[in-house]
Amino acid sequence: MNRRKIKLAAACVMALPPVFLQAAEPEVTAPEVVQALEGTFGVHQGQRRNHIKGSCAIGEFVGTAEAAGYSRSLLFTGKVVPVIARFSLAGGNPKVPDAARSARGMALQFKLPQGQLQQMSMLNTPMFGASSPRTFLDLTLAQRPDPATGKPDPETLSAFKASHPDNHAQAQYLASHNPPDSYTHSAFFGIHTFKFINAQDKVTPVRWRFVPQEGEKSLSNEALKTAGADFLEKALIDSTEQKPARWDMLVTIGQPGDPQDDPTQPWPAQRPEFKAGTLTITSASPQKASMCESINFDPMVMADGIAPTNDPVLRFRSQAYAVSFGKRLSGQ
């Protein structure tokens, strides 16, 4: 009888579709991911565990009437909204060269009326490099330097690539696009799908990106060879001293069937979009002791009228940011 039960149980497991078998993987925790970042990049006390190298900036945002038709957020009243911004490079290495083929970040905190906050944490790639926290954790571990060489082990990286196809799109994008010559010449993407909710409670799935009014400009292949290690901050400060830098916030409207919970999958290009507002950056500074240094740019901080989807990466980012922020506050 016991043998019969064992055989039946084994047959049931074999009959399960792959998605259920994958669900049996241990759940990734935020402390686990933060610890992995520390193991790969080292611990730099009192600083961020990811996107550690960055610069602060301040400015303002003015929303459009068209956006107000889709979202009741106070971000889109047409009035001036103060903004604190942070521009950064991905990873936990504070000395990463500014010409590295890695993602760039733009994080924004909008100070809305009635004490409300809206935050955005964006990248300069149209997609994210992981559809789940597990992939992000495995990538971080695969990037860990070999003590013998000081570089990631090629075989470990190859094994990661072979087993994590959800990382391919962003990796290929970064490999085929040279880094920007300035933060002000880069577009930034919200990566995830969000929900706009208007005054009539109508919900619209959206994705957004910020496009520089001056146009996008990448480093040439020749410039990549001679670019210094720390040119991005100086370029940002110098350019905003001469004139403000501006980005248009463009919002794409999702259609039935568009992926909402997977940030590795871009939406088709043939989607309606509209201009939701203009971001103006008026000045910039090194992050040390500046306004942005102490902010936790949690992308789940949203004001009424904008809501998250069930994207597991979006929701996990909030948890990981909280762990990293707690360590920073305690001087760890």
Say how far apart CA 98 and CA 302 lie, in whole Å.
Answer: 31
pLDDT for the residue 26:
75
How many domains are contained in the chain? 1
Residue 27 lies in a domain: yes
pLDDT score recorded for residue 128: 98
The answer on pLDDT for 165 being more than 90 is yes
Structure confidence at residue 289 (pLDDT): 86
Annotation says 51 is catalytic: yes
**Cβ count near 63 (within 10 Å):** 23
- Average model confidence (pLDDT) for the chain? 92
Q: Is the pLDDT of residue 112 over 60?
A: yes
CA of 229: how far to CAs of 53, 94, 96, 237, 322, in Å? 12, 11, 7, 16, 30
CATH of the domain at 123: 2.40.180.10
- DSSP-derived letter for residue 144 is P
DSSP H/E element including 248: strand 245-253
The yes-or-no verdict on residue 131 having pLDDT over 60 is yes
What are 72-82's pLDDT values in tens digits? 999 999 999 99
Which helix (H) or strand (E) segment is 160 a member of? helix 154-163
Tens digit of pLDDT for each residue in 227-281? 989 999 999 999 999 999 999 999 999 999 999 999 999 999 999 999 999 999 9
- Confidence bin at 141 (pLDDT 50/70/90): very high
Q: What is the pLDDT of residue 25?
A: 63
pLDDT class of 14 with cuts at 50, 70, 90? very low
Within a domain: residue 6? no
Residue 143: inside a domain = yes
From 51, 164, 185, 192, active-site residue? 51
* Residue 2, domain member (yes or no): no
Cβ neighbours of residue 86 under 8 Å, at least 6 residues apart?
54, 55, 56, 57, 105, 106, 107, 287, 292, 295, 297
Reported as a single tens digit per residue, the pLDDT across 144-159 is: 999 999 999 999 999 9
pLDDT band at 15 (very low <50, low <70, confident <90, very high): very low
Q: How much is the average pLDDT of 108-122?
A: 97
312-329 and 30-41 helices cross at what angle (nearest 10)?
60
Please give the residue range of the domain that contains residue 187: 15-329
pLDDT tens, residue by residue, 18-64:
433 344 567 999 999 999 999 999 999 999 999 999 999 999 999 99
Q: What is the mean pLDDT of residues 95-111?
A: 97
What are 285-332's pLDDT values in tens digits?
Answer: 999 988 999 999 999 999 999 999 999 999 999 999 999 999 999 989
Residue 10: is its pLDDT beyond 80? no
CA distance 237 to 94: 19
